[in-house]
Structure 1
Amino acid sequence: MLFRSRRLEDLFGGRLDDLAYNDLAALVGNPDAAEAEDLDYKQAHYSADDKGREELAKDVAAFANHLGGLIILGMAEVNGIPSKVFDVDLQDKDLRHMHQVIASNTEPKVPWEEYRLTNPTCPGKGIWIIAVPRSPLGPHAVTAPPVKGSKEVLRYPRRARSQTDWLSETFVATAYRDRFAAAAAREERINQVEYDLLSEIRNRNTPHLLVSLMPEIAGCMPINHDSFDRYGNELRTIQPFLGRQDQPFATVRIGARRLIVEEPRQYSTASRAELHRDGAAAWAIPLRTRPITLEDGEIHSAEPDAVVHILMSALHFLGSHARDRAAATGTTYVSVWLLDEPSTHPKVLPMLSLPLPRRTPALPLRIDRYDPRESEPIELSTQACKQATAHGTALLDDLADANVGLVQTAALLADELFQAFGIPEARPITQSGHLRRSEWQSSLLNQITAWATTHGVQFLDG
């Protein structure tokens, strides 16, 4: 889901993707459901003429430039309060028209999604919801020609109470500055989150996967005695690795504006996660590898399905923290590093003025498959790699809900990581959100199958 609003979910009685026709029809006459800065009612579809196209583009851009919101098609209002349901057609041709109008008449194109609530007594008709999230790409302009003469040369709308205002040149310039400043601030923040975690594990000499994220709209996780007891019990009893049943986290403690979660200390390379109050989070996870001797010498070799499984698990675990503990919303910036040892991460270089303990040098890292019937690996990598990195943007709900969107996000990131080893793509998953059954070894296949079955993720058998 692109758009989440606790206010509107409480008002409607559930998430948008869980609503039925009668849930919206029940709003008629409810003053709490009046039009607001995040809610607008339309009795009918937008017309197909120039006026209708301009109005649709203006309304979605206004929400995207402010807090986000919903446009309800098929409900009339009196003084802003929903007064009567007027079912509209729920045809694909209407959806195609809306997509075409919004794509052609907003710049940058406004992201949105739709929900059709069918009248159980009248198939093909009902209430249509247009959901528009607050956009990190704003300000969005309306590029449709104005139907009426206007002094507004800059056509940037913004929702204001239950109306639409046009932004001034000064406001638009400020919004552009804020967009770039926010992006820079998120990048700086995630760099600091990674640095803090790396400073604690820099002495290790084994391969690690480091996953970090920073939500676009930061949250605020309360840290006090009650919340720490609750979070501590929760984190010690959850299973962050998809499909597994064990509970790996033994230690939960408080750091500066964060929770620190670790595996038992008897493990020399235990995983460590730092869950920050604003929803930012990072998790460093040691990889299980095989020492293999090749012509060029000894290497560490990781299996592709194991890397993918850890990556998906980390994205889900960190996304759940950001959304469910810190109450962050929207999209999140994600950073992933696959390292032959933590000290090869660029952010560790400034720390190297501090002496490292005497230790065995790290082995080069490769990604290769194994056939239990063969003694040698099925080579996939064309070269070893000290560090591979991938970055992207994901919807927090996709990560936290662990659905097809999680697989799609992980596939995009995993492909980038694998390409650093000379591998075209991460075969265990696809960017369309499927799992390839033949690419999962038996040690993980049962785990990932149990998870996929529960979360509606499908396998490709070929």
Structure 2
Amino acid sequence: MDFDTVRNDNVLQPLAGIFPPSAGYARIAKSGSTHISYADITEMISAGDTEAHDLEFKSQIYDASEKSKRLLATDAAAFANSSGGVILIGIVSDRQGRATAMTDVPLGNESVGRLSNIVSSLVSPVPDFRIFPIENPGHSGYGVILIFVSGSSAALHTVKAGQGLLFPKRSGYNVHFLSESEIAAAYRRSP
């Protein structure tokens, strides 16, 4: 997979569900956009966009620790089990979830490929997701990583955790783990 080109090719469709897209998500997915730029992401900082049901900020790239891998898988599965959303890596947020600064992360194929492998290996079934490195024009090889995860009503997405499975779902700007009764109800609603 070639991670050098940053195009959204209209994958950031409006989110299904009862919640309208957040301001930050709408800014990324603005109508007719075929190229997500570093300036678009910088605009989110200036506007004070906040984390929401469809938007998560991470200041640093997920590392190779088991805890960090599980966190990425949980974030991806939670969006897939909800109405979808975007994880932006390289964005610092305050206690209210408001974007306050950017911290460029490495964008090499190794970093981006590792993130893809984590989601593909720890989330089942694998959600529809795409990863877009967005390079800082003033800092070659560094910038922000955008992970778009489509919402899925076809199946519950689980995260492998030790000998068990977790069933995360997005609840506002937090992740909520489904109870046994919520899991059963979700399977009854599945097509």
Q: Same fold, TM exceeding 0.5?
A: yes
Matched residue, 1:97: 114
Distance 1:46 1:141 in 2: 19
- Cα deviation 1:281-339 (Å, max 9, x = unaligned): xxxxxxxxxxxxxxxxxxxxxxxxxxxxxxxxxxxxxxxxxxxxxxxxxxxxxxxxxxx
- Cα deviation 1:56-84 (Å, max 9, x = unaligned): 10000000001100000011000200010
Matched residue, 2:140: 123
Q: CA deviation at 1:13?
A: 6.9
Distance 1:144 1:124 in 2: 33
Matches within 5 A, 1:273-284: none
Q: Percent same amino acid among aligned pairs?
A: 28
Matched residue, 1:87: 104
Aligned length in residues: 173
The yes-or-no answer on 1:4 pairing with 2:20 is no
Distance 2:28 2:52 in 1: 14
Q: Which structure 2 segments of 5+ residues have no match?
A: 1-9, 16-20
The yes-or-no answer on 1:158 pairing with 2:169 is yes
Aligned AA (2:159): V
**Which secondary structure state, in structure 1, belongs to the residue aligned with residue 121 of structure 2?**
helix
**Which secondary structure state, in structure 2, belongs to the residue aligned with residue 143 of structure 1?**
strand
**Which secondary structure state, in structure 2, belongs to the residue aligned with residue 48 of structure 1?**
coil
- Cα deviation 1:37-69 (Å, max 9, x = unaligned): 100000011011101110010000000001100
What's the RMSD between the two structures over aligned residues?
2.0
Q: CA deviation at 1:154?
A: 4.9
Q: Which structure 1 segments of 5+ residues have no match?
A: 147-152, 181-462
The yes-or-no answer on 1:74 pairing with 2:90 is yes
In 2, are the aligned partners of 1:154 and 1:168 still within 8 Å (CA)?
Answer: no
**Which secondary structure state, in structure 1, belongs to the residue aligned with residue 156 of structure 2?**
coil
Matched residue, 1:37: 53
User: TM-score when scaled to structure 2?
Assistant: 0.83
Distance 1:154 1:114 in 2: 24
In 1, are the aligned partners of 2:59 and 2:103 still within 8 Å (CA)?
Answer: yes
Q: Which of 172, 176, 186 is 1:175 aligned to?
A: 186
Q: CA deviation at 1:4?
A: 1.5
In 2, are the aligned partners of 1:35 and 1:41 still within 8 Å (CA)?
Answer: yes
Matched residue, 1:135: 152
In 1, are the aligned partners of 2:12 and 2:29 still within 8 Å (CA)?
Answer: no
Distance 2:172 2:65 in 1: 27
Aligned AA (1:36): A
User: Against the structure 1 CA distance between its residues 2 and 19, is the aligned structure 2 distance closer, same or farther, given a 3 Å change threshold?
Assistant: closer
**Which secondary structure state, in structure 2, belongs to the residue aligned with residue 55 of structure 1?**
helix
Distance 2:29 2:125 in 1: 33
Higher helix share: 1
In 2, are the aligned partners of 1:2 and 1:132 still within 8 Å (CA)?
Answer: no
Q: Which of 28, 42, 45 is 1:25 aligned to?
A: 42
User: TM-score when scaled to structure 1?
Assistant: 0.36
User: Between Structure 1 and Structure 2, whose CA radius of gyration is higher?
Assistant: 1
The yes-or-no answer on 1:64 pairing with 2:80 is yes
Q: CA deviation at 1:137?
A: 3.2
Aligned AA (2:70): E
